[in-house]
Structure 1
Amino acid sequence: MGPETQGEQGARPSMLLQALRKRLGEHPLRRLGPGLITGVADDDPSGVVTYTQAGAQFGFNMLWTMPLAFPLMAAMQLICARIGRVTGKGLAANIETAFPPFVLRGVVILLVVANTLNIAADLAAMGEVAELTSGIDRHWMGIGFALGSLLLQVFVPYHRYVVFLKWLTVSLLAYAAVLLTVHVPWRTVALRTLWPDLTIDSASAAVVVAVFGTTISPYLFFWQTSEEVEEMEQDPAALPLRDANVAAVTATGELRRIGWDTWTGMFYSDITGYFVILATAVTLHASGIQSIDTAAQAASALRPLAGDLAYALFSIGIVSVGLIGVPVLAGSGAYAIAEVMHWEEGLERKPAAAHGFYGIIALSMLVATGIQYSPISPMKALFWSAVINGVVAVPLMIVVLLLAARPSVMGQFTASRPILALGWIATAVMGAAVMAMLLM
């Protein structure tokens, strides 16, 4: 390549300056990537109610799960994000090329079943908390939320409306604010976070499975992998990192971005869960409420902060995280099936360009809406959907970790030994908890 002309030399600083000004001029929320979106979606209604149940039932003795979960959940999401950015393909497409067909069919069926049950539980809970504050029948409210979420997914690119929904999730920080209004025995909190006084039986094992199942969830694996692919496809100049034409500096920068984005998103999710468990331990558990059967019981954890507005504050939090989480649940299943069927896919595409993809989303929302009419309590349904996610996650985690370690899939960007070690530890912890729950 010949020397740059004087015009080219002058143009380069100008282009860099323009890019810098454009970057600095963007709203900070618009720079949030798939990692942070995934972290926010991780605290869906199922997560909030699971943490509430953990704090109410076991007090401070379930706090240890969140510090342990943080590096494990971050490692799994980091691996999934890298798979998407390195290969330029979603998780199902990568599984299809690296494993026998029965493996792909098995994980996709498990994913879709778990997601549909989770969506149903989320919609039912959103309807119940809306009824709590509005007086309108929960089933009609659930149908309204399902229809509204579906219309947004089909006709509005997800990255546009999720910017506004993120602000509503700030209501979850109310659980941290509760700790400023009540007495908290911080020495005991620190002790039980590090050394719980907990008897391992089927009940405690089920809560552990639920907590890990709602933080390390199968749908999040598929979602973040596919969102990395979508972000790459939005840039005409971007290529999969394993492509020979990708410069080393570009690959290094992208992997650093993925790492920062994912660790940040998972930290937000994890610390929020810790505050929910702690706040419910010092309010609900301390007052003798150890089983969450209704939205009113769950909302009462916020009463020391919000008083009579506790129900409204709880409702805002559940509905907002539900409106973020439901598209992630529906979308992750649609991504997986579309990749298996080799359909056009993506929440950034027009409906006419990806009718099969959006058809799967619509079908899952329809089935989930019907399931919410079951007699089970919405709060109980949320908890058990987290348990189901925890059970389903174990075989899928094994498949993901094997993918990330294969040079035939990842090229020179196979996952590092420390990250793989964290992933296998996460799998072992969840597997042990599932076995304890089933055998005790």
Structure 2
Amino acid sequence: MKPLKFLILLWSISSLLQPRGQAEPHKVVPRSQLAVDLINLKSGQSVRGAIVGADATRITVVVARDWLKEALPSIYLKATADEDTVQKQVSDQLQTRLKQELETAPNESRLKFFLKSEEDRIGASLTGTQSVASSQFVWVTLSPHSIAKVTRAAPDRLRLAVWAWSEMLSHVETRDFHDLERELKQRNIEPTAPAPDLTAKLPPRQQDDREWAARLAILDYTLSKPVNFEGTADVLIRSNGERNEINATLIVSKLMQSQAELFLNELMSEQNSDSSPNTTRNWLKSAGREADQESARGLRVTQVLVKSDGKQAIVEMAFAARMPDKTWEVIWSHQELRDGTAPRANLEAKILADPQLKQLLNTLSATGLSANDQIQKAIRFGAATMEAQQAADTQFMHFCDRYSKRLDAPPLTWSK
């Protein structure tokens, strides 16, 4: 075979063997099409990964080790200097903290069992031979003064990147997110599914006292003392049970009472103004004081924001942790919105089955609100509130599960 024909044949075979959907490494993808966070430095370099924390002094990014080593060797060397020494320091710090907590944890409690298992795990890691350099990712800490521009990836795209890293796809940092999505689907992976947990692939990192206190608050709530509060923007009460399910009948009551006030105002030709509910965290001090009385470290608050028009159900949920200085900080919050006018047969039936509702309707019948359309409106709003609360509750359980598996990862950050 002639050399030219042989080269053409070789090129054709290599083209056929190249995986479909995999972008060429040198292809430039616009920042708007990336699946990762992009941090442009004033030096002209670009760090690509997932931002996990930012404040006035530093930005912390998780970056794939192989990509960083090849693309930015100088930053890689700085980020990985003395990795094994840092790992030993982190393990020693965690062991000391665990010993202190085990001394005060109740005997035979779920909390003590978990703390002991973590102590055993960390002890085993200290005697192990595996180097931290085998972890898939690297922590990169950047000074805000060194950064020219930051482009954050949308949450759904970053979730796509996590899936791609989990599947060990190539060039995750530089490929078009559509390209990654196609390859994942070829592997029968639905990229919209909850992202896999890559905690075990992160190197250890030191925690300050505030982050440690937040982790203990989550453990205390999950395994020992679930302190819950629920209510509206202006009224908050202690609730019982771990589920913290909103009493939809009370919500229906509040909405119908608001409608009654509106109905009476209209009869008197008064101007009605429906101001936005107070969504500030005025509850934090009072809820924190009550939790302090029980020596709890964490508390959850569920608030329903009710407007008299009943068109939108809003549920806000927050989790607060007691800091080392005894103050309380919200370390997680979430909001769910639902259409308050849409039918939800199953939830509406649950509300109608409540014996308190009949008594409520009898009480309000004198106001003229016993008409079926007004009752239906209130019940639908109550059902929408229940649905929103259940969705928020699911998100909270995901949050607790994420941070109650181990005490040295994943990173736990929040904004004041």
Task: Quickly name the TM-score band, shorter chain normalised.
Answer: under 0.3
The structure that is strand-richer by fraction is 2
TM-score of the aligned structures, taking structure 2 as reference length: 0.22
For CA contacts below 8 A with separation 6 or more, give which structure has more relative contact order: 1
Structure number with higher helix proportion: 1
The TM-score normalised by the length of structure 1 is 0.21
